[in-house]
Amino acid sequence: MRGPTDIDGEILESELFCLDLLEIKNPAFVKDLDVAQMEALSADIREFLIQSTSKTGGHIGPNLGVVELTIALHHCFNSPEDKFLWDVGHQTYVHKILTGRANRFDTLRQHDGLDGFPKRKESEHDVWETGHSSTSLSAAAGMAIARDIRKEKYHVLPIIGDGALTGGMALEALNHIGDMRKNVIVVLNDNNMSIAPNVGAMHNVLGKLRTSGKFKRAKKDIEAAMKKIPTAGDKIAGAAERIKDSIKYLLVQGTFFEEMGYTYLGPVNGHDYNDLITNMEFAKKVKGPVLMHVVTTKGKGYQPAESDRIGNWHGTGPYKIETGDFIKPVGGPPAWSAVISEAVLELAQTDERVVAITPAMPVGSKLEKFATAFPDRFFDVGIAEQHATTMAAGLAALHMKPFLAIYSTFLQRAYDQVVHDICRQELNVIIGIDRAGLVGADGETHQGIFDIGFLRGIPNMTIMMPKDENEARHLVKTAYDYDAGPIAIRYPRGNGLGVNIDTEMKAVPIGSWEMLSTPVDVAIVTFGTTIPMAVEAVMELKRQGIQAGVINARFIKPLDKAMLHDLMKREIPIITVEESLLKGGFGTAVLEFAEEHGYDQAVIRRIGLPDTFISHGSVEMILAEHGISALGILNTIQKILPEKQIRA
């Protein structure tokens, strides 16, 4: 942009001006921009986002779609006095730029760098933290109540995506806000996508509204026309109101939001400043709740992202701007998600009872092949984890074999359904816990480090995790054959190890561990992603004359009691290692076993993650920081066996 500006406040020259995004400190300057200047700012921000995320990766598609919407919000409202609650937390890059954080975008989603989601500690303009969807409306209800009790005056604006409205919590809050008649402006960002294309009846309602024309404009014209009708008492006035309602129903099929108590504005063109500003200014004057239906295009302004209808450009790693090609290794081992889903598909080919369910993550969980092969047995329920979980229970109650593919971080949203509907009834649901363990750049809200702790204490639950792709297939077969209740198989983000795959899948005895090397001086008991580092530590110990053994504890629950008895009777130190929280984790289960069976002299040391939320950064860096590495294992053993003079 061209010409001088005071980026902390007002525009010094109202016509053409120059703006360095890296120097922005305060969004107040946006208020003084005219439409042409805001359009120029939009172009600058899009170029900045494309350049920046091509190096760091990030949620480029969602943010390109909300450039004009975000600028218009800061133009019409006063953040942080007015409360912006970004339900889709990964759509806040433009908001971060306008609130003075562009100069940190080279650290985006990196260790100690700029968070990829709203972060209250990062800026006063981030008033609500969101990584999981569908929470903003409930929080907005709370803030509106607090505002009114204190007799304060400001706007509360939850900005929620159309995909998030499939979440039960969002619908509950939508209903309550409408019933309370609180002054809340709900900005519905409708881009016809969540991560993958949206599904469900709510999606269809919004589709009808998108094509219904400017309902509010038509309604206003109707009201103006009625004022010209001579009033002859309540009877004619009542008839006029009925006529108005009839035309409303004719204009808009299923006036869902109006019936819930909202003033509906839209559809609004989310890339047209005149349309956005006109409706926002009107919304500020309305008494009671408003729903402003803004239609945007995900990936707007960058052809590879804009044309994506699958979800590949929702969140990316680095990419080549010119071609849109992602920068990642070619070939290599398959993704863990693909290994699991293809094993399920293989079983489905011979058993029509096998069905697959996902809450809006068909691409991430690699279920596209299953969906293509068996469209009548594949169910994407949208962002509705609770529904997906109980739906799986209903299928299992009638002797189907449901496979519920769900990220660890999203499974915690369905905890009651796992306890009440699945485990309590001993239903044979196979829960595929995707992204189990650390996930890196997505940070605190997405780390899959809680599921062991919250599942292990539930009766009837079996939990397992494979050491490699081959064992993963066998554990899928184990889950398929199991009929004694729910069974969960955990698997991490990323790719496998590249091991050879057995042709035939074979079930593994429930609760059985595997001794990968014989322990003489010390035993390292671990599972999944931490087995390679344990093997590395054993090799180093062997060079130093210490014979350590590695136990593949592929069943986290139930424990292999026979092997634990054997290990503890050897009276050697036991080191447990896990890529999850220590509190209530696998190591705690081993301690509980020792206490229950009277091994009071057992030397047990646990390695895992501390009692805190783990921030974003590379998985390797986070693991090393917390001693979850070959070096960390050596250091722990050195403290136990100092007489051996271990060189860590």
Residue 231 DSSP class: P
Query: Annotation-wise, does 133 bind a ligand?
Result: yes
- Answer yes or no: is pLDDT of 600 > 80: yes
Query: Annotation-wise, does 132 bind a ligand?
Result: yes
Q: Are residues 84 and 201 in the same domain?
A: yes
Question: Alpha carbon of 501 to those of 275, 334, 339, 506, 513: distances in Å?
Answer: 57, 11, 10, 12, 20
Last residue of a domain, one of 282, 303, 324: 303
**In terms of DSSP bridges, do strands 604-609 and 548-552 run parallel, antiparallel, or are they unpaired?**
unpaired
Query: Annotation-wise, does 131 bind a ligand?
Result: yes
Give the per-residue pLDDT at 235: 52
* Total domains in the fold of the chain: 3
Give the per-residue pLDDT at 13: 41
Phi then psi for 507, rounded to 5 degrees?
-70, 145
Query: Annotation-wise, does 624 bind a ligand?
Result: no
Known catalytic residue: 122?
A: no
Which class for 459: exposed (0-12), middle (13-18), buried (19 or more C-beta within 10 A)? exposed
Q: Are residues 484 and 522 in the same domain?
A: no
Q: Is residue 375 part of a domain?
A: yes
Helices then strands (H, E): number in the chain? 24, 17
Give the per-residue pLDDT at 11: 41
CA proximity to 536, closest of 469, 634, 467, 606: 634
Q: Is residue 606 part of a domain?
A: yes
Q: Once rounded to an integer, what is the mean pLDDT over residues 79-95?
A: 93
Domain range holding 123? 76-89+115-303
**Angle in degrees, CA 224, 226, 229, rounded to 5:** 125
Q: Is residue 94 part of a domain?
A: no
Give the per-residue pLDDT at 9: 45
Give the per-residue pLDDT at 337: 97
Known catalytic residue: 322?
A: no
Give residue 314's pLDDT band: very low, low, confident or very high (50, 70, 90). confident
Backbone dihedral region of 112: left (phi > 0), alpha (psi from -120 to 50 degrees) or beta? left
Q: Is residue 19 part of a domain?
A: no
Q: Is residue 9 part of a domain?
A: no
Name which residue leads in pLDDT, 518 or 323: 518
Q: Are residues 388 and 425 in the same domain?
A: yes
Q: Is residue 467 part of a domain?
A: yes
| Mean pLDDT rounded to a whole number for the chain | 88
Query: Annotation-wise, does 258 bind a ligand?
Result: no
Known catalytic residue: 595?
A: no
CATH of the domain at 607: 3.40.50.920
Residue 462 DSSP class: E
CATH of the domain at 232: 3.40.50.970
With contact defined as beta carbons under 8 Å apart, do 46 and 67 qualify? yes
Q: Is residue 609 part of a domain?
A: yes
Q: Is residue 590 part of a domain?
A: yes
Q: DSSP alpha helices (H): ranges in 88-230? A: 93-96, 136-149, 168-180, 201-210, 215-227
Name the β-bridge partners of 577.
526, 607
- Answer yes or no: is pLDDT of 272 > 70: yes
Give the per-residue pLDDT at 163: 86
Give residue 72's pLDDT band: very low, low, confident or very high (50, 70, 90). very high
471: CB partners within 8 A, 6+ apart:
508, 554
Give the tokens for residue 202: 């709510």
Give the per-residue pLDDT at 570: 95
Give residue 484's pLDDT band: very low, low, confident or very high (50, 70, 90). very high
Q: Are residues 526 and 454 in the same domain?
A: no
Q: Are residues 431 and 527 in the same domain?
A: no
Q: Once rounded to an integer, what is the mean pLDDT over residues 183-209?
A: 69
CB atoms within 10 A of CB 610: 11
Q: Are residues 461 and 542 in the same domain?
A: no
Query: Annotation-wise, does 90 bind a ligand?
Result: yes
Q: b or e along 473-507 (b: 16 or more beta carbons within 10 Å of the residue's beta carbon)? A: bbbbbbbbbeeebbbbbbbbbebbeeeeeeeebee
Q: Which candidate in 68, 258, 385, 471 is catalytic? A: 385
Query: Annotation-wise, does 164 bind a ligand?
Result: yes
Query: Annotation-wise, does 385 bind a ligand?
Result: yes
Q: Are residues 196 and 133 in the same domain?
A: yes
Q: Which candidate in 83, 109, 119, 413 is catalytic? A: 413
Give the per-residue pLDDT at 443: 85
Q: Are residues 212 and 83 in the same domain?
A: yes
Give the per-residue pLDDT at 231: 52
Name the β-bridge partners of 197.
193
Q: Are residues 550 and 443 in the same domain?
A: no
Give residue 324's pLDDT band: very low, low, confident or very high (50, 70, 90). confident
- Answer yes or no: is pLDDT of 12 > 50: no
Give the per-residue pLDDT at 646: 66
pLDDT per residue over 131-173, tens digit each? Answer: 888 999 999 999 999 999 999 999 999 999 988 888 889 999 9
Q: Which candidate in 298, 366, 473, 493 is catalytic? A: 298
Give the per-residue pLDDT at 249: 46
Backbone CA torsion sign across 357, 360, 361, 366: positive
Name the β-bridge partners of 524.
550, 575
Give the tokens for residue 100: 């003075």
Give the per-residue pLDDT at 329: 72
Q: Are residues 569 and 448 in the same domain?
A: no
Q: Are residues 82 and 192 in the same domain?
A: yes
Q: Are residues 476 and 518 in the same domain?
A: no
Q: Once rounded to an integer, what is the mean pLDDT over residues 523-547?
A: 96
**Top mean-pLDDT range of 47-56, 88-97, 602-611:** 602-611
Give the per-residue pLDDT at 5: 40
Q: Once rounded to an integer, what is the mean pLDDT over residues 176-191?
A: 95
Q: b or e along 72-87 (b: 16 or more beta carbons within 10 Å of the residue's beta carbon)? A: bbbbbbebeebbbbbb
Q: Once rounded to an integer, what is the mean pLDDT over residues 458-471?
A: 98
- Percentage of residues of the chain with pLDDT beyond 90: 72
Phi then psi for 495, rounded to 5 degrees?
-100, 160
